[in-house]
Homo-oligomer: A and B are copies of this chain.
Amino acid sequence: MISPKFLGRLGFALLFALQPGFAAPYPSFGTVQTTNSSGVLNAVINNTASSTNLFDYRVQADLANLVETLQANDTDIRVVVFSSGNKEFFIPHLDVDYFLPGYGFPDMTFPPALLWNISQLPQATIAMVEGRARGIGNEFLMSCDMRFSTTSPSVLFSQLETSFGFIPGCGGAMYLSNLIGRGRTLEYVLASADIDAVTAEKYGWINKAFDTSAAMKEYVHTLARRIALFPLAGINGTKFGVSAVSRPSREDIVQKAQAVITVLAQLPATQAYATKFVEATHNQSIGELELNYGQALLGLYNVTEEELTN
Binding site for B on A (CB under 8 A): 1-2, 6-7, 10-11, 14, 17-18, 124, 145-147, 161-168, 171, 173-187, 189-193, 203-204, 206-207, 218, 221-223, 225-227, 229-231, 233-235, 237-248, 252, 255-257, 259-260, 263-264, 267-270, 298, 301, 303, 305, 308-309
User: Which of these, B192, B238, B241, B308, contacts A222 with CB under 8 Å?
Assistant: B308
B180/A181 in contact, CB under 8 A? yes
A241/B162 in contact, CB under 8 A? no
- What is the copy number of this chain in the assembly? 3
A124/B190 in contact, CB under 8 A? yes
A177's closest neighbor in chain B, by CB? B246
B308/A186 in contact, CB under 8 A? no
B248/A248 in contact, CB under 8 A? no
Q: A168-B241, A178-B246, A182-B243 are in contact. List 18 more A-B contacts (CB 8 A).
A: A7-B259, A18-B269, A145-B186, A145-B190, A146-B186, A161-B238, A162-B238, A163-B230, A167-B241, A173-B241, A177-B178, A180-B181, A182-B246, A185-B242, A189-B242, A222-B305, A222-B309, A244-B252
Grouping DSSP codes into helix (H, G, I), strand (E, B) and loop, the A interface class, with mixed when no group exceeds half, is helix
B234/A187 in contact, CB under 8 A? no
User: Which of these, B6, B165, B186, B241, contacts A174 with CB under 8 Å?
Assistant: B241
